[in-house]
Structure 1
Amino acid sequence: MDLSDAALLIAAGLAAGTVNAVAGGGSLITFPALIATGLPPVAANVSNSVSVFPGYVASVAGSRVDLPRGRELWSLLPTAVVGPIAGCVLLLATPARAFELVVPFLVLGATSVLAFQGPLRRLVGHPQRLGARRRTVTAHTMVAVGTVYGGYFGAALGVMLVAGLALVLDATLARVSAVKNLLSAVVGLTTLVVFALFGPVNWAAVAVVAPATLFGGYAGARLARRLPQVVWKTVIVAFGTAIGFYLLWRALT
């Protein structure tokens, strides 16, 4: 790795940490940057998943005052551990081409859920009208789907988690995003352990990107708390749509 590669990865890590804290999808900055330094796709994806973990931790620190209190949040954490393990196994066991073709539709689907949150809430029921059991099952289902995806690829993990949680949590987007940051950190820690043991991690690249995501994640979380809800939702939907079509373009060209 030469000096220009290191500079590219530092800039990408700072930007990705900030974007992950605000909207999710920062891996779409670091992943192409890792590819640009010469890493093959699977090694870049695995190294990227390990690199962004410090940024997730910093995002939790920056948004901790918005985390809801109570057992309901903590009960989601076991699901957030099992999900990414399944996603990691799926990534290491399936062809790279399948990975490229499936991911864009997952991202666009998650973005659509958030964009049409109002109509979907009328269809599935507002969280205030859901029974406790149904709300718990739905929340775990949303977290399971999002975290399996997070272990499989990870880019736009935040968009997927916000989209799913916003349907079942009767809370502001700031509070939903704080939950998203905590779950993302759990996913990040789980993927770090799995890929460190079994994946082709490029530790030199991780050593450059990871500290940068740490600073970016904390700054992004502080910025996110100051954004009006309508602006926040617009940013997430716009970014998720851009990510989805970018991935689709990459898969088809």
Structure 2
Amino acid sequence: MDGLDQLALLGGGLLAGIASSSVGAASLISFPILVAVGLAPVVANASNTIGLVPAGVGGAVGYRRELTEHPRLSGVVIATSACGAVLGATLLLVLDPGVFESIVPWLILFSSALVGTQPLISAWARRRAARRGLAPRDRQTMSPPVAMASTVLGVYGGYFGAGQGVILVAFYALGIDVGLQVINALKTLAIFASNVVATVVFVIWAEVSWSAVVLVGAGSLGGGYLGALIGRRLPPWLFRVLVVAMGLTVGLTMLL
């Protein structure tokens, strides 16, 4: 690995950290760079996951106000994402790496559509409940269906994770009535929890390029914090537009 490769990994980690904490889809940036410098796909995937753990640390620090205001939601996000990631990381080591290739792009594109139309869907649901005379239920906590979705996405995060943030924003925004900045914080926390658990599995059983991990990790730490600062200041409409744009980019890139 020469000096240009090292600089590319450091810069890729920085940009991936920013993307992870702001609009998601960090792996779309860092994973191709790891492959481009010569790592095998499975080694690149494991190294990328470990290298993005510092991005989660930086993002969690940047979003500490939003997360501490919702400790119960934060706890459920950590638990569901971590449990799912154990299975996802194990599947990466035992299954063909292309198992999810035909499904995931369509899921990401569908989630992008959900993010874009979520205000309309939520307004329709409220009007429907009002017509039926139903009292609005507490949506400041995570319902079982949303918790299940969070767990399944933890599996995907441990397995590969490209576009995980876009999908998480879609399901969290539909199932929880909190601001988009809080949704973004919970998404960042979920990715962090998935990566930490997957890291434990990969350190024990997977082949890892530690030089790549150090470079990506060094860049992603500052990037994660910077991305949180950006995400907290984005107007809700702009955040929604950026998430949809990132989701379309990831989904179409994986299809093509």
**TM, length-normalised to structure 1:** 0.91
Partner of 1:201 in structure 2? 208
> Tell me, which stretches of 5 or more residues in structure 2 are unaligned?
130-134
How much has 1:167 moved relative to structure 2?
Answer: 0.8
C-alpha deviations, 1:21-52, integer Å up to 9, x for none? Answer: 11000111100000100111111111111111
Partner of 2:189 in structure 1? 182
Matches within 5 A, 1:70-219: 70-121=71-122, 129-130=136-137, 135-219=142-226
> Tell me, which stretches of 5 or more residues in structure 1 are unaligned?
none
Using the aligned pairs only, state the percent identity. 35
Partner of 1:20 in structure 2? 20
Aligned 8 A contact 1:91 1:99 in 2: no
Q: CA 1:77/1:51 → structure 2, altered by over 3 Å: closer, same or farther?
A: same
How much has 1:115 moved relative to structure 2?
Answer: 1.8
Counterpart AA for 2:249: A
CA distance in 2, matches of 1:64, 1:16: 20
Partner of 2:31 in structure 1? 31
SS of residue paired to 1:96: coil
Partner of 2:65 in structure 1? 65
How much has 1:243 moved relative to structure 2?
Answer: 0.7
CA distance in 2, matches of 1:46, 1:80: 17
Q: CA 1:152/1:213 → structure 2, altered by over 3 Å: closer, same or farther?
A: same
CA distance in 2, matches of 1:122, 1:237: 19
CA distance in 1, matches of 2:143, 2:155: 18
C-alpha deviations, 1:86-143, integer Å up to 9, x for none? Answer: 11122222212323333322322222221221344367669983467x9521221221
CA distance in 1, matches of 2:117, 2:85: 26
* RMSD after superposition: 2.2
Count of residue correspondences: 249
CA distance in 2, matches of 1:169, 1:97: 33
Aligned 8 A contact 2:73 2:142 in 1: no
